[in-house]
Amino acid sequence: MILFAAIMLIAGIYTTMSYNGFVQLQNIVEEAFSTMDVYLKKRYDLIPNLVETVKGYATHESKTLENVIEKRNMAMNAGNLKDRQKMEGELTGALKTIFALSESYPDLKANGNFMKLQGQLETIEGDILQSRKYYNGVVRSFNTKCETFPSLIIAKIFSFTQKEYFEITDEKERSNVQVKF
């Protein structure tokens, strides 16, 4: 009877500790996504300023500029993680095109506002990259816990399911931008 009680106590302690570990990791995943979301919001806020600055110098590039705004709006309004990943990839590609345009417009390249906005966006892109790496790292930890024995039993009992990584899904984001006139 004492042995049975000891086993039940150990099982209860393990279950509690494992459950709490899942909750903690789940909260870290949510916090990591939220952090990434903050950086994405900062980027969304800078894009209209960048586009307005470029408009003054590259008036006949309106399709490129409209495309950037369209991609920004679509990324902001993406409903789920898959759609958001896709739209973020397309937005990144569109931003690369704007920066490539600056090579063709010496006055734009020398404009202080453009250079300041470009610098801010480059900093934010670095922050987004780091926050994506952090998010994917905590997702990896969470998913590993969901898949390894014996914690996978607790995951199934309490319906903890694997999280999705934030991945590059758009080939445009992987490739260099080619600008031709």
Domains of the chain: 10-173 (1.20.1440.20)
Contact in structure between 77 and 49 (CB atoms under 8 Å): no
Q: pLDDT of the chain along its 181 residues, tens only?
A: 999 999 999 999 999 999 999 999 999 999 999 999 999 999 999 998 888 888 777 776 778 888 889 999 999 998 888 888 889 889 988 888 888 877 777 777 777 888 888 889 889 999 999 999 999 999 999 999 999 999 999 999 999 999 999 987 655 554 544 434 3
User: Nearest Cα to 92, choosing from 34, 150, 166?
Assistant: 166
Contact in structure between 98 and 114 (CB atoms under 8 Å): no
Percent of the chain as helix, strand, coil, to the nearest 5: 85, 0, 15
Contact in structure between 98 and 64 (CB atoms under 8 Å): yes
pTM: 0.79
